[in-house]
Amino acid sequence: MSALGTVVGLGVALPFALAAPAHAQSNLSVAKSHEGNFARGGQGVYTITLKATGATGLLDVTDNLPTGVRATALGGLLAQFCDITNGGTTVHCGDGLNFIGALTAPLDVTVSIAADAPCSVSNTVTVIETETEEQGGETFTHSASDPTTITGGDCDGGGGGGGGGGSILPINLNGVIPMFNNITTNSNINSPGASNNSHQNFGLNAP
């Protein structure tokens, strides 16, 4: 039962329960968060937080990162039990990880954002908790998702219209002006009782 001492090695003195009554619910919850928006070509940090109110079963944590997002570094209380795999697309924690008492344990995942990453992604972490027979022998699945806005390039960074907040000028009017001239000249307004009064003055200023 060496796995029962895994988290104690972090320097946290926790009570040990010799026996746990059978129960239909877990002592564990998981949350996932980040701050602000992530920018294409930049970095960001996701925080996975495991919170236990008592002894848990063995924990297997998997974070499959979304398209365009790759893990580059790990930090926080759980980092020593986790690895970055699959070329940065997966973070996995396990190897006998469990809690033997109340504890809040964060994992910070630093990520890089690809230059062509989607403008919106959702990152989901899944935790499989397997109890020992003494704990009741049940298996629980926990998950948490964190929607993320990505800015830069052709992503909408809050400027409206999906254009990144830039100016809509210059505009090529080669097709627009002749279209209106065609309506004016040929009276191409096919509505009963419609009139066609047009006064157009266009000035072209060469650079």
Phi first, then psi, for residue 104 (nearest 5°) are -115, 120
Prediction pTM value: 0.66
* Cβ atoms of 58 and 50 closer than 8 Å: no
* Cβ atoms of 43 and 117 closer than 8 Å: no
Average pLDDT value for residue range 201-207 = 48
Percentage of the chain surpassing pLDDT 70?
63
* Cβ atoms of 27 and 55 closer than 8 Å: yes
**The predicted structure's pLDDT at residue 24:** 61
Q: Does residue 9 surpass a pLDDT of 90?
A: no
Give the start-end residues of each E strand in the chain: 28-34, 38-39, 43-52, 58-64, 69-75, 82-85, 90-93, 103-113, 120-130, 139-151
At 66, which helix (H) or strand (E)?
Answer: none
DSSP lists the bridge partners of residue 32 as 48
Q: Does residue 125 surpass a pLDDT of 90?
A: yes
Q: Where are the domains of the chain?
A: 24-151
DSSP lists the bridge partners of residue 82 as 93
Q: What is the CA radius of gyration of the chain?
A: 29
CB atoms within 10 A of CB 29: 14
Residue type, 157: G
> Which superfamily does 24-151 belong to?
ntegrin, alpha v. Chain A, domain 3 (2.60.40.1510)
Mean confidence (pLDDT) of the chain = 76
* Cβ atoms of 193 and 199 closer than 8 Å: no
**The predicted structure's pLDDT at residue 38:** 97
Average pLDDT value for residue range 18-26 = 56
Instruction: Give the whole-angstrom CA distance, residue 147 versus residue 123.
Output: 6
